[in-house]
Structure 1
Amino acid sequence: MYNSFRKKIFGGDNVVNLSDVRYLPRWIILIIDIIILVISLFLSTYIIEKITQKEFIYHEDKSVVFAFIILVNTIFMYLFKTYAGIIRHSTFIDLFKLLISCFCTMFVVATINMTYFWVTGGKFILTPYLVLYFVISFMGLFLFRLYVKEFFHIVREYRRSALKKRILVLGIDEQSIAIARAILDNPNLPYQVVGFLTQRTDSKRASLLGKPIYAKEKIETSTKDDLVIDGIIIVKEMMAKDEMNSWVNLFLEKDLNVFKAPSVQKLRDSDLGGSIRNLQIEDLLNRKPIKIENEEVKSRHYGKTVLVTGGAGSIGSEIVRQVAQFTPSLIVVLDQAETPLYDIELEMKEKFPHIRFKFVLADVSNMNRVETLFQTYNFSMVYHAAAYKHVPLVEENPHEAISVNILGSKNIAMLSSKYHVNRFVMVSTDKAVNPTNVMGASKRAAELFVQSLQNVEGNRTKFITTRFGNVLGSNGSVIPHFKKQIEAGGPVTITHPDIVRYFMTIPEACELVLQAGTMGHGGEIFVFDMGEPVKILDLARRMIKLSGFEPEIDIKIIYTGLRPGEKLYEELLSDNAKTLPTHNDKIMISKDPIMEFNEIDGLINLIGEASVVRDKVDVVKILKNIVPEFRSNNSIYEALDK
């Protein structure tokens, strides 16, 4: 390392990076120590002369005495290797070596001085001078090491801070202070806390952890350059959705990065760096989850046998995860997608090794195949989440929608009634309300059939339907699609600038399903209060800004036109539906028109036959007879509505 240092000096490159100087050679440290000893001698001489006003060296040649003291001190520094350590990593052991070497020097010189006195009757040096030299030399050697250690610490921290993101912590509560302290105590994190931010206006002159507190107006009236910060860290759990959206809008307007930190309850120093992440659009769309009556839900599943169709999909797999927490005797997971089914099998066996699972590769439209499951297992609960849901694909292939969404639902519902399953819960969609596409209409037809079974003579099964909007992060949903487009540098594609959608998280959706399965008495369609709809254009813009880019400048947004069957906004309730409240203010019962079993069963048998032998236009024509409110939009089937 010394050679590389010399190369820097003498090789033409006169810029020396202090971080490259790892340590100095030992002989240089020893020379510096000897220089400190010489300075200590002269300083001791000056002080003793001022105090005593008389001679303190009785030898005719002072230089001999000085050289003798330096020689003895150097010998002891060599013996104790006081120069051998890396100075900026000095420890108490190094300090103790210095103390011993200086003390031994004083002791040996004093002993020789006394021996000289006993032999000749006179001293060659004043004893108090030795004590003063001992103190000054030790302090000089110690301070040299202390200053070098602190100097390298300051340089190291300066270099680290230059590479760190300068951030403000949002909030001055205990949670925010704990997060800030954890960041400050961990020098390896790529963040430097430079202050706190609050809505309060009475904290301008106060400080926390030695950092200033800024009011919200400071951010509002300043630019990013004025603030000299890179971003903000927020604790998401501490704020309501509206409050967080307000803050994030302000931060994005100022081009500040927004980071999310875990709550103190989830905080562990070992993984704090991995826990602080860029705020995601899902964090802004999340709402407080539904409060499940866990005891009631648990009693409904504990020790029971449960079937989940579509169990490898986004919703079905989350239902499996949540049901497994209630210790059922068996969960049968059915899906026709081989790879996702295998993935959920590996996950469940790892997370719930004490739960018995059965993973079945099958199609719900195959009546004989699924009936063997009902014959083999005494199901108490059936969650029917199997369905084709991608609007453009189903619009182009209506036969498959009839086969899976309608006939598959009929099969599972009929078998549930036949084998006296206690409860059947079907997962539906807001696209079933006043449908404009085949997918939504097929789900509405399935709803009608499931509801009709409730009043069939001899039926003992409670048939329950849940209906909700888009789920965040589900397979094929818009948010993962936008993320991929942003990561690829754009453009972000939107079908129409005015299109809006409702959003909820996958766990929320599945909590609704479990809650409905518990609270339903049979024949209901449960709908969820999904809050305000989100404009997809605003969603895309915020995702781009949260990713650190500027919409239309760094990432372009282009409009591709509405896809076949797509509409600008979704509805949770039909126009002529009435709602009834439940004990959960986030869940309502939709009183949609119903059909008698014989009528809907005959129509479904008819469309089932048509899906095998006729073209897709004929199939959709029958589907429109089943669902009269079905009006195609931006589709070849619009002609059927005229």
Structure 2
Amino acid sequence: MAKLNHVFVHRFCTRMVSLHRTTKIALMVTADLIALPFCFLAAMLLRGGDLKLASHYGPGSYVLVAIVTIAAFFISDLYRAVIRFIDQRLLSATGLALAIAVLCAYTITFSVNEANFPRSALAIYWFIAFSYVIASRVGVRNLLRTLNGNQRGTSEVVAIYGAGESGAQLAQTMRNSDEYRPVCFFDDKRALSERTIGGLRVFHTDRLVETVKAMGIRSIVIAIPAAAPGRLRDIMQRLAQAGISTKILSRLVDLADDKVTPRESIRDLKFEDLLGRAPVPPRLDLFALCVRAKNVMVTGAGGSIGSELCRQIATLRPSRLHLLDHSEFALYTVRQEIANRFPDVPVEAHLGSVCNADLVERILRDNRVDTIYHAAAYKHVPLVETNIVEGLRNNVMGAQVVATAAARHGVETCVLISSDKAVRPTNIMGASKRIAELIFQAAAARPGTDTTFCMVRFGNVLGSSGSVIPLFQRQIARGGPVTITHPEVSRYFMLIPEAAQLVIQAGAMAKGGDVFVLDMGEPVRIVDLARTLIALSGLTEKTQQNPGGDVEIRFVGLFPGEKLHEELLTDGVVFPSEHPRIMRMKENALRPSVLDTFINCLMMACDTHERGLIEGMVKAIVTEYNPGRHAEGPVSAPSAAPAPAPASSPAVATQAPIAAPQERLALIKKFVPFRI
């Protein structure tokens, strides 16, 4: 019989919860319209001691009091609240509104000189009516929570980090969900230790590990939405001791909306949350100037930055989007994605190398391209350092082909994606990007050019193909070790969407020859990044102090040409730009004619495959280049035939008449200041 009653009550409550919001309000008003006259009757009985005083006033008086009280409830938003989420704040507001209604009634009776009316009954009525509101609402709330709790055998047992207002609201919301079952709070404040908030015990973080084990906690939710990235990193270091997964409250739940669930407001903690600064939003008025209703080409469209550029450009409705990449699979993948997600954007995919001058010329000539974003480059430092010939040819010649073709065919804006490694470079990849910057600066300085050339320089991009994040994630998934070159190495980091937005905005702000740099906050130590990723995976670091840890961090030494700390700014002059978080720089540049001759000699040096000669030529162009020590001799086996220089490139126009190797070496050594 008891089981049948429980089933009946459960079905009834489920039915009530599923009713339309208007129907729920109507039911609550009807219940109050019945109960409140009896509350006033009880007040009159308590005031008079018998029915004589209560019967002196007709039923209309009791109904009138109920109507005035219900109006006060409407003003306090009592009827718009979800009973399952009702809280002390709302009940306090209801009590205040009821008190104002009673005070108004008292004033009216006094003004009409109703001497026989017992005004003290109004004060008694306030206590009785408010007690009724609390008892009815809280009683129904507890009934719903109890019935809901009986169905939550599979709920995830969680703890909440942060016993503040956000944590208390989150705990209340979790109690009414099927996903999570909160069992306690953790907080750094010792004044809150062992206290109870929202029915849950608060523990200091010193007791984190033992409490997690004792209560069978499966994850911890950080309920500090406004926490700075630095504080989040400190919290992660503490939570890593427990070896459980960590989530974060992304936004406060609107308690008046019964459609919002904890699943929508709680998410896994991402490394972006620990970046060290808030992501930089784009300025919408700059965002579309070089893209909307224009023909746009992206080189290296299949890469991490290139593909994100294509996505962001497609949202701005260009007339046509041209994709250029030498990787068939990468080009196919990004073309399919853009075609599926943005079916109204015309897309053309061009397969080939950016060093192919005939291909680039044909694309620009046949399609009248307005804007170019040059993202094609080899960027992996160790690979380029051991394959310097192909690295220089691709990064340097690719930039020169694009710049030359853009100027020749009247492209409006041409943006180069550079790197922080171009600042005082210590490796070939960084030096090649600095040479590419010099090429764009020279293109902007050529007399009569109508194309606006500019460069964008930023640090490591989280999640890109060359980023350490995917490598660390793979190493952690295998159980380690996580390999880091040096314990003090640090880098600037940004998000892929940030990088793409910076590139697009730079084109709109450029005046010609500008270098744009994002304010990237403070650099992040790579070892801290690795430890954070280990903690985010719910694992612990294996150290001498913690030999039972899950993942070891191993230092393997700096790679050839690798810096301990990257830089974003040179000694050039820094100016503000139209965007408050983007800086504009003007740097020293070479005269176009001098740079053409230098690049010509650099390409001839590459044909010799002699590292010392090549690095000497790079040093002649980029005087800040300071490479590490390398062995003399050939870089790699010479190819059967050197790659032909693009006919359209003025930098290699003088290469053909110089056929004899001795003549080539003599010309190169004229510009090489020293042999490494």
Q: Please say whether Structure 1 and Structure 2 have the same fold, judged by a TM-score greater than 0.5.
A: yes
Q: CA separation in 2, counterparts of 1:150 and 1:584?
A: 50
Summarize the alignment of residues 304-383 of structure 1 with structure 2, pairs less than 5 Å apart. 304-383=294-373
- What's the counterpart of residue 414 of structure 1? 404
Q: CA separation in 2, counterparts of 1:153 and 1:579?
A: 61
Q: Does the alignment pair 1:184 with 2:175?
A: yes
- What's the counterpart of residue 233 of structure 2? 245
Summarize the alignment of residues 193-342 of structure 1 with structure 2, pairs less than 5 Å apart. 193-195=182-184, 210-212=198-200, 214=202, 218-226=203-211, 228=215, 229-234=217-222, 238-252=226-240, 257-263=245-251, 273=263, 276-285=266-275, 287-342=277-332
**Compared with structure 1, are the counterparts of its residues 150 and 565 closer, same or farther at alpha carbon in structure 2 (3 Å cutoff)?**
closer
Q: CA separation in 2, counterparts of 1:375 and 1:623?
A: 32
- What's the counterpart of residue 551 of structure 2? 555
| Equivalent position SS for 1:457 | coil
- What's the counterpart of residue 536 of structure 2? 546
Q: CA separation in 1, counterparts of 2:413 and 2:274?
A: 35
Q: CA separation in 1, counterparts of 2:525 and 2:617?
A: 34
Q: Is 1:224–1:256's contact at 8 Å kept on the other side of the alignment? A: no
Q: 1:564 aligns with which of 554, 560, 563?
A: 560
- What's the counterpart of residue 470 of structure 2? 480
**Compared with structure 1, are the counterparts of its residues 151 and 376 closer, same or farther at alpha carbon in structure 2 (3 Å cutoff)?**
closer
**Letter paired with 2:159:** I
**Compared with structure 1, are the counterparts of its residues 237 and 370 closer, same or farther at alpha carbon in structure 2 (3 Å cutoff)?**
farther
Q: CA separation in 2, counterparts of 1:223 and 1:199?
A: 11
- What stretches of structure 2 of length at least 5 have no aligned partner? 14-143, 543-548, 635-673
Q: CA separation in 2, counterparts of 1:448 and 1:400?
A: 19
* Bigger mean CA offset, 245-254 vs 341-350: 245-254
**Letter paired with 1:599:** V
Q: Does the alignment pair 1:447 with 2:443?
A: no
How far does residue 501 in structure 1 lie from its aligned partner after superposition?
Answer: 1.1
Q: 1:607 aligns with which of 588, 602, 605?
A: 602
Q: CA separation in 2, counterparts of 1:268 and 1:317?
A: 39
Q: Is 1:315–1:385's contact at 8 Å kept on the other side of the alignment? A: yes
Q: CA separation in 1, counterparts of 2:224 and 2:533?
A: 17
Q: Please identify the structure whose Cα radius of gyration is greater.
A: 1
Q: Does the alignment pair 1:165 with 2:157?
A: yes
Q: Is 2:253–2:260's contact at 8 Å kept on the other side of the alignment? A: no
How far does residue 185 in structure 1 lie from its aligned partner after superposition?
Answer: 2.5
Q: CA separation in 2, counterparts of 1:426 and 1:93?
A: 65
**Compared with structure 1, are the counterparts of its residues 153 and 604 closer, same or farther at alpha carbon in structure 2 (3 Å cutoff)?**
closer
- What's the counterpart of residue 585 of structure 1? 580
Q: Is 1:491–1:558's contact at 8 Å kept on the other side of the alignment? A: yes
| Equivalent position SS for 1:530 | coil
Summarize the alignment of residues 393-542 of structure 1 with structure 2, pairs less than 5 Å apart. 393-542=383-532
User: What is the RMSD of the two structures over their aligned residues, measured on CA atoms?
Assistant: 3.4
**Compared with structure 1, are the counterparts of its residues 212 and 272 closer, same or farther at alpha carbon in structure 2 (3 Å cutoff)?**
closer
Q: CA separation in 1, counterparts of 2:145 and 2:183?
A: 22
- What's the counterpart of residue 569 of structure 2? 573
How far does residue 542 in structure 1 lie from its aligned partner after superposition?
Answer: 2.2
**Letter paired with 1:623:** V
| Equivalent position SS for 1:386 | coil
Q: Is 1:88–1:150's contact at 8 Å kept on the other side of the alignment? A: no
Q: CA separation in 2, counterparts of 1:615 and 1:634?
A: 14
Q: Is 2:232–2:274's contact at 8 Å kept on the other side of the alignment? A: yes
Q: Is 2:171–2:182's contact at 8 Å kept on the other side of the alignment? A: yes
| Equivalent position SS for 2:472 | helix
Q: TM-score, normalised by structure 2?
A: 0.67
| Equivalent position SS for 1:484 | helix
- Structure 1 runs of 4+ aligned residues shifted over 6 Å read 85-88, 91-95, 149-155, 198-208, 265-271, 637-641
**Number of equivalent positions:** 496
Q: Is 1:205–1:212's contact at 8 Å kept on the other side of the alignment? A: no
**Compared with structure 1, are the counterparts of its residues 641 and 530 closer, same or farther at alpha carbon in structure 2 (3 Å cutoff)?**
farther
Q: CA separation in 2, counterparts of 1:474 and 1:323?
A: 18
**Letter paired with 1:565:** G
**Compared with structure 1, are the counterparts of its residues 155 and 521 closer, same or farther at alpha carbon in structure 2 (3 Å cutoff)?**
closer
Q: CA separation in 2, counterparts of 1:243 and 1:346?
A: 41
Summarize the alignment of residues 65-144 of structure 1 with structure 2, pairs less than 5 Å apart. 89-90=7-8
Q: CA separation in 1, counterparts of 2:348 and 2:495?
A: 27
How far does residue 580 in structure 1 lie from its aligned partner after superposition?
Answer: 2.0
Q: Does the alignment pair 1:633 with 2:628?
A: yes
Q: CA separation in 1, counterparts of 2:264 and 2:586?
A: 47
**Letter paired with 2:518:** F
| Equivalent position SS for 2:585 | strand
Can you list the C-alpha shifts for 1:450-500, whole angstroms capped at 9, x where unaligned?
Answer: 101112111011111011110101003111111111111111111112211
Q: Is 1:286–1:504's contact at 8 Å kept on the other side of the alignment? A: no
How far does residue 152 in structure 1 lie from its aligned partner after superposition?
Answer: 10
| Equivalent position SS for 2:368 | coil
| Equivalent position SS for 2:338 | helix
Q: Is 1:335–1:341's contact at 8 Å kept on the other side of the alignment? A: yes
**Letter paired with 2:210:** D
**Compared with structure 1, are the counterparts of its residues 633 and 614 closer, same or farther at alpha carbon in structure 2 (3 Å cutoff)?**
closer
- What's the counterpart of residue 103 of structure 2? none
- What's the counterpart of residue 12 of structure 1? none
**Compared with structure 1, are the counterparts of its residues 609 and 273 closer, same or farther at alpha carbon in structure 2 (3 Å cutoff)?**
same
Q: Is 2:541–2:553's contact at 8 Å kept on the other side of the alignment? A: yes
**Compared with structure 1, are the counterparts of its residues 154 and 469 closer, same or farther at alpha carbon in structure 2 (3 Å cutoff)?**
closer
- What's the counterpart of residue 68 of structure 1? none
**Compared with structure 1, are the counterparts of its residues 497 and 608 closer, same or farther at alpha carbon in structure 2 (3 Å cutoff)?**
same
**Compared with structure 1, are the counterparts of its residues 212 and 153 closer, same or farther at alpha carbon in structure 2 (3 Å cutoff)?**
closer
**Compared with structure 1, are the counterparts of its residues 612 and 269 closer, same or farther at alpha carbon in structure 2 (3 Å cutoff)?**
farther
**Compared with structure 1, are the counterparts of its residues 429 and 237 closer, same or farther at alpha carbon in structure 2 (3 Å cutoff)?**
farther
How far does residue 589 in structure 1 lie from its aligned partner after superposition?
Answer: 2.1
How far does residue 398 in structure 1 lie from its aligned partner after superposition?
Answer: 1.2
Q: Is 1:501–1:534's contact at 8 Å kept on the other side of the alignment? A: yes
Q: CA separation in 2, counterparts of 1:637 and 1:613?
A: 13
**Letter paired with 2:204:** I
Q: CA separation in 2, counterparts of 1:372 and 1:380?
A: 14
Q: 1:385 aligns with which of 367, 372, 375?
A: 375
Can you list the C-alpha shifts for 1:216-240, whole angstroms capped at 9, x where unaligned?
Answer: xx53443432474554313675433
Q: Is 1:233–1:259's contact at 8 Å kept on the other side of the alignment? A: yes
**Compared with structure 1, are the counterparts of its residues 519 and 155 closer, same or farther at alpha carbon in structure 2 (3 Å cutoff)?**
closer
Q: CA separation in 1, counterparts of 2:201 and 2:587?
A: 55
Q: Is 2:518–2:582's contact at 8 Å kept on the other side of the alignment? A: yes
Q: CA separation in 2, counterparts of 1:390 and 1:312?
A: 16
Can you list the C-alpha shifts for 1:337-380, whole angstroms capped at 9, x where unaligned?
Answer: 11121111121112111111111111000000111000011211
* Bigger mean CA offset, 316-325 vs 536-545: 536-545
Q: CA separation in 1, counterparts of 2:597 and 2:566?
A: 29
| Equivalent position SS for 1:417 | helix
Q: CA separation in 1, counterparts of 2:229 and 2:10?
A: 53
Q: CA separation in 2, counterparts of 1:416 and 1:527?
A: 23
**Compared with structure 1, are the counterparts of its residues 264 and 378 closer, same or farther at alpha carbon in structure 2 (3 Å cutoff)?**
farther
Q: CA separation in 1, counterparts of 2:253 and 2:404?
A: 47
**Letter paired with 2:175:** L
Q: Is 1:631–1:641's contact at 8 Å kept on the other side of the alignment? A: no
Question: Percent of aligned positions with the same letter in both sequences?
Answer: 35
Q: TM-score, normalised by structure 1?
A: 0.70
How far does residue 286 in structure 1 lie from its aligned partner after superposition?
Answer: 6.0
Q: CA separation in 2, counterparts of 1:394 and 1:360?
A: 25
Q: Is 1:232–1:257's contact at 8 Å kept on the other side of the alignment? A: yes
- What stretches of structure 1 of length at least 5 have no aligned partner? 1-32, 37-84, 96-148
